[in-house]
Structure 1
Amino acid sequence: MTSFITSRLAGIVGQRGLATSRFLNTSGSIRNYSTGVSNLSKLRNIGISAHIDSGKTTLTERILYYTGRIKEIHEVRGKDGVGAKMDSMDLEREKGITIQSAATYCKWGENHINIIDTPGHVDFTIEVERALRVLDGAVLVMCGVSGVQSQTITVDRQMRRYNVPRVVMINKLDRVGANPWNVINQLRKKLNLNAAAVQIPIGLENNLEGVCDLVKDKAYLFGEKGSAVDVQEIPSALEAQFKEKKIELIETVANVDDQLGEWMIENDFPNQLPEPAILEAAIRRACIARTFVPVFMGSAFKNTGVQPLLDGVISYLPSPPERKTIAIDTSNKDKEVEVELVQDPKKPFVGLAFKLEEGRFGQLTYMRVYQGTLKRGDMIKNVNLGKTIKVPRLVRMHSAEMEEVQEVGPGEICAMFGVDCFSGNTFTAQNLNYTMTSMHVPEPVMSLSIQPKGKDGQNNFSKALSKFQKEDPTFRVKTDMESGQIIISGMGELHLEIYIERIKREYGVECTVGKPLVAYRETIQAKGDYNYTHKKQSGGQGQYAKMIGYIEPIEGMENEFINDVIGTSIPPNYTEAIRKGFKECTDKGPLIGHPICGIRFVVNDGATHSVDSSELAFKIATAGAFREGFADASPMILEPIMKVEISIPSEFQGTVISGVNRRKGAIVNTSSVGESLTLECEVPLNNMFGYSTELRSMTQGKGEFTMEYLKHTPVSRELFNQLIEEHEKKLAEERK
């Protein structure tokens, strides 16, 4: 283990001064640090992920301080008005939450660490998704009081999706009610992780002083700002617990690591315990194989346990060569071949653009280099778009700050300026046709209608929506063909609220926001007859058309036209005009102006005039005949019913079911796995707006739901009258 003892942390203040002068050079001459990782075994690419308000950004702030990347510690909602380094957006500092993932890098001993701090709020889950897609390891931060929460479960699912090894940091052990053993139990039961502590805390809540390392057999106490680390023997009061937890750790790892299991058989365990080096090597093997999760402890806010966590990142998480990376060779169109990439700077370049951001100098494209070397001025190919581009500028990111570099080697994370591409595009040397697997993009769950308040801001409004769509795959924009409204969709109310605020701040456009027009439909419930004559005479040639027939309901959402005229009472050359007239009638119904569905329109008789009849006359007559038959056929309004799947902890079952009933939903099925309950419901779309916020409130942030269209069904009589009244009021206002 790269021990912080051997790193001379007792004299860290002097060391930090040296680190600052070496690593915070923003002149562009920083090649020795940012691209000089000659030994890839000493490089780590990690993400810091957790449920909202678990302390990710606070932990990252301490890591940057102890590694010499920043000179002072600032808090997330700092009273000094500065805020944490990784929260660079004004909105992040104001709200005290992380909205965009931020990248940085630092040095710990002889090791280089690239870090991505990700949001915890479920609305910004795509930021976690694309970070984990390109990282080699992760730190899952847990609250010592709350334990496993809803976003913890989501992040765990994402880590499994991309096979990312992780270590766990149980944070906030200084808080009242902190219980790390309860959290570890939840990790095992709720996330099904083979987890065990590699540390035990010295004290809890207000008495938290430090941690005891179960691998090194040492106790660490942290002084002011956590910099002065006092290394001691295990306190006598903790010896019994220490031995119990160490034996538990060894047995847990031995269950998944054959080498440690063999050592236990060959030696007198538990009377004889393995040497630290043997245990450390076994934990590393199991962690990289994703069969074991080491659990660290501390309090980032109280500057406790951060340096041992950094040692754990180096000791247990993989370097880039230890992660197998597969690309698809698309050279042969008939057969795609899997190719394993090699972390070799001399091999042809392969990289993945995993995140886009609008910078001061144009589009900023975050890139993970998987193979070869990327140099400024190189010609590289965008395999997905089939374009060859020249690399204009290369930078390393330190939150919002940029440090220019000339080249970036394999395993590194950098950013390019002025490159037109999309998130998930693969870039290669010109002679390769490799593509990387794309990231998972969840479907949006909520929509709002939006429009600029004044015509002056229309251009900036369009630019903003276009930019945000490119940056964020979960942010969608469409124009409703029925209402003409611009509809924005996203992962939740906060997600959309942030983008509306950004349109105002970054583009100076005030917006009017409302819920979108629900896609109602109009139909009939019975057969309706019509006998309609259109007659117009105003000098010269007039208009004449007579139609007799009926309309009736049919199954499904389609409409049907039938010409059942016998003889020549309506000549065949007018049939197409009648068909077009019927189509126009169904586009906009007479009740509330929504499309009509499930109707059969039958014409079986009529009359013509030798001079005054025409296609136009029959088209107009069709509209009158349709209105007459529609009014006689018990018209009805249909509303969209959504299939809603709600996942919640069982303890909230009663509250959530009551909420579904209030929204006039019907529960059609329930299923449970362990402590998790899934409800399948059918709920009117009009009643689902605002549900994401309500569900989180009812379940302490632990509930999630998905929603998709199921069918249209008749509205209640009360809603029918309300919709008719609202439509008439709207028409009256338009006539004014």
Structure 2
Amino acid sequence: MRRRISERLLWRCGRRWSRSSSSSSSVSTQLLRNIGISAHIDSGKTTLTERILFYTGRIASIHDVRGKDGVGAKMDSMDLEREKGITIQSAATHCQWGEHHVNIIDTPGHVDFTIEVERALRVLDGGVLVLCGVAGVQSQSLTVDRQMKRYDVPRVAFVNKLDRAGADPWRVIEMVRKQMALNAAAVQVPIGLEERHVGVVDVVSGRSFLFEGARGEVVRVGDAPTEVRDLVEAKRVELIERLSDVDDDIAEAYLDQGDVDDDALRAAIRRATVRRQFVPVFMGSAFKNKGVQPLLDGVVDYLPSPVERDGIMALAVDDGEREVPVECDGSEPLLALAFKLEESRYGQLTYVRIYRGTIRKGGTIVNVRTRKTTKIPRLVRMHANEMEDIDAASAGDVVAMFGVECASMDSFENAADARGLAMSSMFVPRPVISLAVAPKKNNKGGTSNAMDAFGAALQRFAREDPTLRVHVDPESKQTILSGMGELHLDVYVERMLREYKVECDVGNPRVNYREAIATRADFDYLHKKQTGGSGQYARVIGYIEPLDDGEADDDLDEPFEFVNNVVGTNIPPEFIPSCDKGAREAIARGHLVGAPIEGMRVVLTDGVTHAVDSSDMAFRAAMHGALRSAIEKARPAVLEPIMSLEVTVPAEFHGDVLGGINQRRGLITSSEISDDGGTALVAADVPLALMFGYSTDIRSISQGKGEFTMEYKEHQPVTSDTQAALIKKYQEERAAKLKEKK
């Protein structure tokens, strides 16, 4: 049995697949895998994807991620990505591994582009969580883990960079268990670490895999080396024990026989992985071309096909969004979800996941949200920035279509048999930083040309990226660009210059403060206005109170709840929506620093109307005035965004880093030095307002050897002196603007 398994693996690892076999428009759903490759920044995701494409024959040679060879990695097709050495946009590709068709989405690791990971995991059936063999679980690793759990995505883990000094896969697995609370165990044991890393041993079969050749394309399969056999046996026992906790069949077999058959063990790993009760851990070094082919075997062996994903639900739009189960069946009526938009020279490119039915070139589909019908002029499979035309694609597949105008997260059905079903949307984090942007005057083309291109760029970027918000400040009339971080906004400003030839004047970064109330306050407000003829009359009675932490939904732009507790018709039902609208207008801009007021419930209990003078406008104005007065009595406070900061520096600079964080009012949450004493890792919660320019400071402190990542955590009240300073600054700015108007 083990000889047969090793021959199968050698055949898979050694075979190179032609492009013609991977571009077929007809894919068996059972043999389909939709996976995303996700990790913390610089953990090797794109490098791993590059090797996968090489070993499956999708590319003829391997190129450097940072583009030093003048070509760059296949999946980083944007010039900015190659220059910066990071992935900015998720990119889709597909390949063939044995009989299996694998759709792959390579996602960014930088937290500023986390929406790209979010939208990919929303539609995929499995994930590869890449972990650095030296650093282990990092801040963005935890974010990706939360995203995978949010969408119930089964995953395998790949401990990368085992060729690096200080690599310790067992420490990484322990971090996965403790910090991510995952039932994880190794299915491989490395043969050597650091510069001695040459291959891996499969814990299930006991066979070794040595990677030879200029690009690791020659895989030599044999018996496990003597020096690791005891470790392999110990890890096999640990694997069985971990599976026994979640799989009764394995537990019974192990208790009865003292061991488990290889095929039974593989089947148990697959069952537990698909049920999201276990995470098999693979090992290797993508950069050194080791361990990638067995990982591909793990993807097809342990991750589910689309038909194996359970709990997929659609919403009946015309029936109160009642949940309806969706079966992955190509013969059923079409149901597809647009999860990513891109603007190209051919028009809008819409990436879609097909949950049910078949989508065809030339077919007519209906947008469930807008009810508009559209004919599909072109259907393609993506290979990074290249396209391969296909005629049709069926349930479970991920493809792209041209000529279909829609928004991200729109659902589609066939026009002939539409049933009003839509897939649920995704979680979209709120922006934490803003910039005022305006096009510089174009002496050659004129200001109007620059303004047209500027507007077109912002409209396109906001449609493609839900975390990028654009609005015009009502007082300053400035165009405000809001996003997830400095790098996020810098990239879009740079893209405006490169793609639209619009150079922008950029203001100083602005923190997105919010306001909140601390206690309950009642209101009883009369709005009465008489100017001749019909006047305005409305009285509203009720109270406001803060929402509990669990009630404030981060999924919303403005966590807010309006409750109508009016008994009878003291306020006629037709005026209730006006009260709701007036309340929302009142919380749009607080009186402390002009920030939105969030985390508040408004309860309307009673009111009074006038037979002639009551109107929609009167109740809207009454509610607006009532809340403005009530908020002042509810102890309003200013909230600031708090970021989770993670800094990695050589241990000699540990103390300097701690001192710098303390100067920025940071709260140290953990501080540790690696076992070899070479690296210090510091985690802290810091106010975003005090973190501008930190990249320069950390380079100065660590002689250019340090790096850091930041991720939005929550909004917290500012200190009393900070609040006083912010209020004073806001009042001075308002006074200056009023003076300018006069």
TM-score tier, shorter chain, comes to 0.7 to 0.9
What is the Cα deviation at residue 75 of structure 1? 1.4
- Picking from 449, 452, 457, the partner of 2:436 is 449
1:485 and 1:516 in contact (8 A); partners too: no
Alignment of 1:158-307 (within 5 A): 158-224=147-213, 225-267=215-257, 269=258, 273-307=259-293
2:341 and 2:407 in contact (8 A); partners too: yes
AA partner of residue 365 (structure 1) = T
Q: Any gaps of 5 or more consecutive residues in structure 2?
A: 442-446, 515-520, 536-592, 596-635, 674-680
Q: Distance in 2 between matches of 1:131 and 1:178?
A: 29
Q: Distance in 1 between matches of 2:732 and 2:412?
A: 57
Aligned residue for 2:172, secondary structure, equals helix
* Aligned residue number for residue 76 of structure 1: 65
CA spacing shift, 1:519–1:10, aligned 2, 3 Å: closer
What is the Cα deviation at residue 338 of structure 1? 2.0
TM-score normalised according to structure 1 size:
0.75
What is the Cα deviation at residue 480 of structure 1? 1.2
CA spacing shift, 1:375–1:278, aligned 2, 3 Å: same
1:476 is aligned to 2:469:
yes
What is the Cα deviation at residue 34 of structure 1? 3.0
- Count the aligned residue pairs: 612
What is the Cα deviation at residue 168 of structure 1? 0.3
1:436 is aligned to 2:423:
yes
What is the Cα deviation at residue 79 of structure 1? 3.1
* Aligned residue number for residue 18 of structure 2: 19
User: Which region of structure 1 is more displaced relative to structure 2, 72-81 or 315-324?
Assistant: 72-81
What is the Cα deviation at residue 20 of structure 1? 3.8
2:12 and 2:97 in contact (8 A); partners too: no
CA spacing shift, 1:722–1:252, aligned 2, 3 Å: closer
Alignment of 1:384-533 (within 5 A): 384-430=369-415, 431=417, 432-454=419-441, 455=447, 456-515=449-508
- Picking from 362, 367, 382, the partner of 2:367 is 382
Q: Distance in 2 between matches of 1:143 and 1:518?
A: 32
* Aligned residue number for residue 100 of structure 2: 111
CA spacing shift, 1:487–1:659, aligned 2, 3 Å: farther
TM-superposition CA deviations, 1:283-319 (whole Å, max 9, x none) = 1111111111000000111111111000000110000
1:642 is aligned to 2:639:
yes
Aligned residue for 1:34, secondary structure, equals coil
Aligned residue for 1:63, secondary structure, equals helix
1:695 and 1:701 in contact (8 A); partners too: no
What is the Cα deviation at residue 484 of structure 1? 1.7
Q: Any gaps of 5 or more consecutive residues in structure 1?
A: 24-32, 522-554, 564-571, 577-593, 597-638
2:9 and 2:294 in contact (8 A); partners too: no
Q: Distance in 2 between matches of 1:145 and 1:679?
A: 20
Alignment of 1:121-160 (within 5 A): 121-160=110-149
What is the Cα deviation at residue 95 of structure 1? 0.8
1:353 is aligned to 2:325:
no
What is the Cα deviation at residue 680 of structure 1? 8.2
Aligned residue for 1:112, secondary structure, equals strand
Q: Distance in 1 between matches of 2:52 and 2:136?
A: 22
CA spacing shift, 1:654–1:724, aligned 2, 3 Å: farther
1:64 is aligned to 2:53:
yes
AA partner of residue 62 (structure 2) = I
1:645 and 1:678 in contact (8 A); partners too: no
Q: Distance in 1 between matches of 2:527 and 2:322?
A: 52
Between structure 1 and structure 2, the one with the greater Rg is: 1
Q: Distance in 2 between matches of 1:442 and 1:359?
A: 26
Q: Distance in 2 between matches of 1:289 and 1:217?
A: 26
Q: Distance in 2 between matches of 1:729 and 1:382?
A: 48
* Aligned residue number for residue 314 of structure 1: 300
AA partner of residue 18 (structure 2) = A
What is the Cα deviation at residue 254 of structure 1? 1.1
Aligned residue for 2:18, secondary structure, equals helix
1:344 is aligned to 2:329:
yes
AA partner of residue 438 (structure 1) = S
CA spacing shift, 1:561–1:314, aligned 2, 3 Å: closer
* Aligned residue number for residue 518 of structure 2: none
1:10 and 1:229 in contact (8 A); partners too: no
2:513 and 2:640 in contact (8 A); partners too: no
What is the Cα deviation at residue 368 of structure 1? 0.3
AA partner of residue 437 (structure 2) = I
Alignment of 1:536-551 (within 5 A): none
Aligned residue for 1:138, secondary structure, equals strand
What is the Cα deviation at residue 731 of structure 1? 11
What is the Cα deviation at residue 703 of structure 1? 5.0
Q: Distance in 2 between matches of 1:7 and 1:648?
A: 42
What is the Cα deviation at residue 265 of structure 1? 1.8
Aligned residue for 2:221, secondary structure, equals strand
Q: Distance in 2 between matches of 1:695 and 1:3?
A: 54
CA spacing shift, 1:441–1:148, aligned 2, 3 Å: same
What is the Cα deviation at residue 19 of structure 1? 1.2
What is the Cα deviation at residue 331 of structure 1? 5.9
Q: Distance in 2 between matches of 1:355 and 1:347?
A: 24
What is the Cα deviation at residue 227 of structure 1? 1.2
What is the Cα deviation at residue 46 of structure 1? 0.4
* Aligned residue number for residue 6 of structure 1: 8
TM-score normalised according to structure 2 size:
0.74
TM-superposition CA deviations, 1:379-402 (whole Å, max 9, x none) = 111111221111121000000000
1:690 is aligned to 2:677:
no
What is the Cα deviation at residue 328 of structure 1? 3.4
What is the Cα deviation at residue 163 of structure 1? 0.3
Aligned residue for 1:397, secondary structure, equals strand
Aligned residue for 1:483, secondary structure, equals coil
TM-superposition CA deviations, 1:657-710 (whole Å, max 9, x none) = 966764579x8xx999x99999888x7x8x446288699989953653345485
Alignment of 1:647-658 (within 5 A): 647=644
Q: Distance in 1 between matches of 2:76 and 2:354?
A: 25
2:13 and 2:219 in contact (8 A); partners too: no
CA spacing shift, 1:241–1:383, aligned 2, 3 Å: same
* Aligned residue number for residue 581 of structure 2: none
Q: What is the root-mean-square deviation in Å for CA atoms of aligned residues? A: 4.2
TM-superposition CA deviations, 1:199-244 (whole Å, max 9, x none) = 0000111111100001111011111111111111111111111111
1:140 and 1:166 in contact (8 A); partners too: yes
TM-superposition CA deviations, 1:91-143 (whole Å, max 9, x none) = 11111111100001111111110000000000000000000000000000011
1:166 and 1:293 in contact (8 A); partners too: yes
CA spacing shift, 1:34–1:692, aligned 2, 3 Å: farther
CA spacing shift, 1:240–1:511, aligned 2, 3 Å: same
TM-superposition CA deviations, 1:584-636 (whole Å, max 9, x none) = xxxxxxxxxx999xxxxxxxxxxxxxxxxxxxxxxxxxxxxxxxxxxxxxxxx
Q: Distance in 2 between matches of 1:344 and 1:717?
A: 61
CA spacing shift, 1:649–1:89, aligned 2, 3 Å: closer
Aligned residue for 1:303, secondary structure, equals coil
